[in-house]
Amino acid sequence: MAQKYRIYINDNTLFITHEIPAQIDKIQQIEVEGFDFESFYKNLKSSKKKNYLLLTKNPAAVFKKIKGDLTLIKAAGGLVANAKGQFLFIFRNKKWDLPKGKVDKGEKVKDAAVREVEEECGVKVDKRNDRICKTYHVYEMGGELILKRTSWYQMTVKGSPKLIPQLEEGITEAVWVAPQEIKAKIKNTYALITDVLKSEKLV
């Protein structure tokens, strides 16, 4: 089966796939031949919440080429459930998010995921389970285009511990959210967070 990739750029999503994705109402197809990611990125600044598609027989090769032109940063995060079946959300940069952060040099990705959750929310992770998915997000930093690859893991904590948001990381709230309340939270979140939740059939 050919692989599919999604790259998130602000509120826009670039799909790299061998077939037109289902359940996407409006999508603008882009010619693969001669595609230059940097030019595409610069032209996106005037665009809001759009889906773009690179249709190719070899998505992995196209994605590899794009990745080669960007600076890769590895990150990891968690979708954390408590004993009541509620999920951990944080509020940062005026949006609801899931705890995550950069992988330190020499650190294993799965260990970084647990460390970031514990640091950002003041909890002790009881179990780290399987990886849910990877997400790719592009942004500009110091004139460079960064590709952040985040590995997301399922996690659990014992009981329903009190949460302590890490204020120095810009987190103003950390809350437990019941499954039926998640839809209200994703009205103000990032597309990639919605996709992590979809992977777990929570939305």
Range in 29-38, 41-50, 94-103 the model is least confident about: 41-50
Per-residue pLDDT tens over the stretch 92-123: 999 999 999 999 999 999 999 999 999 999 99
Q: H/E element holding 10?
A: none
Range in 32-36, 46-50, 154-158 the model is least confident about: 46-50
What is the average pLDDT score of the chain? 93
CA distances from 97 to 41, 100, 107, 126, 172 (A): 23, 9, 23, 21, 11
Going along the chain, which residue ranges are E strands?
A: 5-9, 12-17, 28-30, 51-55, 71-81, 87-92, 95-97, 100-102, 127-141, 144-156, 171-177
Show the domains of the chain with their CATH numbers.
5-68 (no CATH), 72-199 (3.90.79.10)
Residue 1 confidence (pLDDT): 45
